[in-house]
């Protein structure tokens, strides 16, 4: 089959592309705008494959999307292109509305016309979303399931909730074959350095402050990116049409525990140059607005129906991640060019956004 991956040069998208080329016989068309978070270097290991091709484009460009679908005739569309950083959505929500809502609307209309015209036998529109659409949990609350009511609190999660609803509506109203997946926090190699895990690794390596929001007690479920890629492929090829599947790592951690784990491992892998501990660099900063307290994902549906479960524990995954960043500092430096400071975003409001 042929897979069209939107956002295939991003963190999760590139992991999915590498999985498809390395672990299957399918072909892949990578459709990516190459924003600040898209990087074709993440695909150097597969870019020479005869089964891989790249098209630079914006999902909001209706003419180009339609031209691409007509020319490439994909069997599966896996839609990962999105503005995804919550902190940036606080500062500049307009970009999230445009890409995540208008872009998904544009892609859905083009996909519907393509599907109605060509009727590929195994066609599926797979929309990749987030657990953040479900809102915030207390420590006592049960984990998110696929039937948890939506309750988004940030501009990012609201935009993703909107796109989820659009996909479901195009399926129910127009018959477009679809599935939706909602994942927990991803981490791993090739992640853009503004995210929590790489930010802490790289700041520590450079003996810079480790900025932690609030008291650091917010809880996230951590999912290793290669486990996520494997789950996405299973859903796209074996999932039931019209269903939603939650994907999580079964690894709930407070943010401060994540940071301290990184500091502890770095003490072994990359001892500080000075007579200090990496933990001494931890700095508590003003919490961002609307910071959800806890996310927790119930993965029993995808486990029971598709036989998927994460292969990496947080402990094994974070060790691999730290080792990768230590061994690939040149990549980190290249993607950090133009960034004046590796700090937390989302503490100022761009009034023009």
The tokens for 228 are: 């996520």
Residue 173: partners with Cβ closer than 8 Å, 6 or more residues away: none
Query: How would you list the strands of the sheet with 185-187, edge to edge?
Result: 185-187, 219-224, 252-254
User: Catalytic site residue 131?
Assistant: yes
Q: Which helix (H) or strand (E) holds 182?
A: strand 178-183
How far apart CA 56 and CA 33 sit, in angstroms, is: 5
Which candidate in 52, 114, 134, 156 is catalytic? 156
How far apart CA 157 and CA 256 sit, in angstroms, is: 23
Burial (CB count <10 Å: 0-12, 13-18, 19+), residue 120: middle
The 3-state secondary structure of 113-126 reads: HHHHHHCCCCCEEE
Please check whether residue 170 is in contact with residue 126, taking contact to mean a CB–CB distance below 8 angstroms: no
How far apart CA 327 and CA 330 sit, in angstroms, is: 9
Please check whether residue 79 is in contact with residue 166, taking contact to mean a CB–CB distance below 8 angstroms: no
Which candidate in 32, 83, 87, 132 is catalytic? 132
User: Which residues is 254 bridged to in the sheet?
Assistant: 219
How far apart CA 22 and CA 15 sit, in angstroms, is: 10
Using only C-alpha atoms, the chain has a radius of gyration, in whole angstroms, of 20
Which candidate in 87, 131, 194, 227 is catalytic? 131
Catalytic residue set: 131-132, 156
């Amino acid at each position: 089959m042929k897979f069209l991956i939107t956002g295939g040069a991003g963190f999760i998208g590139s992991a999915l592309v590498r999985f498809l080329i390395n672990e299957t016989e399918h072909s892949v068309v990578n459709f990516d705008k190459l924003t600040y978070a898209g990087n074709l270097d993440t695909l150097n290991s597969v870019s020479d494959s005869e089964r891989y091709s790249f098209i630079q484009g914006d999902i909001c460009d209706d003419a180009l999307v339609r031209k691409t679908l007509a020319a490439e005739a994909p069997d599966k569309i896996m839609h990962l292109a999105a503005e995804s950083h919550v902190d940036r959505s606080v500062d500049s929500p307009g970009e999230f509305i445009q890409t995540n809502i208008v872009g998904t609307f544009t892609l859905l209309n083009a996909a519907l016309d393509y599907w109605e015209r060509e009727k590929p036998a195994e066609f599926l529109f797979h929309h990749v979303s987030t657990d953040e659409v479900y809102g915030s949990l207390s420590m006592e609350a049960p984990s998110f399931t696929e039937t948890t009511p939506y309750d988004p609190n940030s501009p990012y999660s609201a935009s993703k909730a909107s796109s989820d609803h659009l996909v479901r509506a195009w399926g129910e109203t127009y018959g477009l074959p679809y599935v939706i997946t909602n994942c927990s926090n991803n981490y791993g190699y090739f992640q853009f350095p503004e995210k929590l895990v790489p930010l802490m690794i790289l700041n520590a390596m450079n003996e810079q402050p480790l900025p932690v929001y609030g008291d650091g007690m917010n809880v996230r479920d951590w999912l290793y990116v290669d486990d996520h890629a494997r789950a996405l492929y299973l859903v796209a090829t074996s999932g039931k049409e019209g269903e939603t599947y939650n994907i999580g790592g079964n690894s709930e951690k407070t943010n401060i525990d994540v940071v301290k784990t990184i500091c502890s491992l770095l003490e072994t892998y990359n001892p500080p140059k000075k007579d200090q501990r990496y933990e001494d660099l931890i700095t508590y900063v003003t919490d961002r607005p609307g910071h959800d307290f806890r996310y927790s994902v119930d993965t029993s549906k995808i486990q029971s129906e598709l036989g998927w479960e994460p292969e990496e524990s947080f402990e094994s995954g974070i060790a691999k991640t730290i080792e990768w960043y230590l061994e690939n500092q040149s990549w980190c430096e290249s993607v950090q060019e133009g960034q004046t400071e590796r700090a937390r975003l989302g503490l100022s409001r761009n009034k023009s956004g």
